[in-house]
Amino acid sequence: MPEARGNGKPGRTRRVGLRPVLLALIAVLYAISIPWYRGDDQELRLLLGLPDWVAVAILCYALVAVLNSVVWMRTPIDDDAPLSRALTADARGTGARGAVRSTPDPGESTP
């Protein structure tokens, strides 16, 4: 059984190290997708009916999308955490966005 890292939750040790690795891999894929490694005199080859550098870029972008979804799935979200002050103000209709209020403020007359 994996040890907890001070937060009392077993199993968190594997996820803590995987997320930064996935984010680094995404950065590497973006770097690979740029055809900076091709020379001007290099012969054009076709992969899947596309120039090789285009096929590599599309493949990298598809892998980035998959890895981003894995990173988001592994990101812990606390559903019980309170909303920020700005979000609760907008939900009440008192924020800058002018949300519609479902109940009037005390002392406010209703039409």
Domain ranges of the chain: 12-92
96-111 pLDDT, tens digit each: 555 555 565 666 665 5
- Whole-prediction pTM: 0.54
Contact 56, 45 (CB under 8 A): no
pLDDT of 43:
86
pLDDT of 78:
79
pLDDT of 15:
44
34-90 pLDDT, tens digit each: 988 777 788 888 888 898 889 999 999 999 999 999 888 888 787 777 776 555 555
Spatial neighbors of 53 by CB under 8 A, at least 6 apart, are 35, 38
Residue 50 phi, psi (nearest 5)? -120, 155
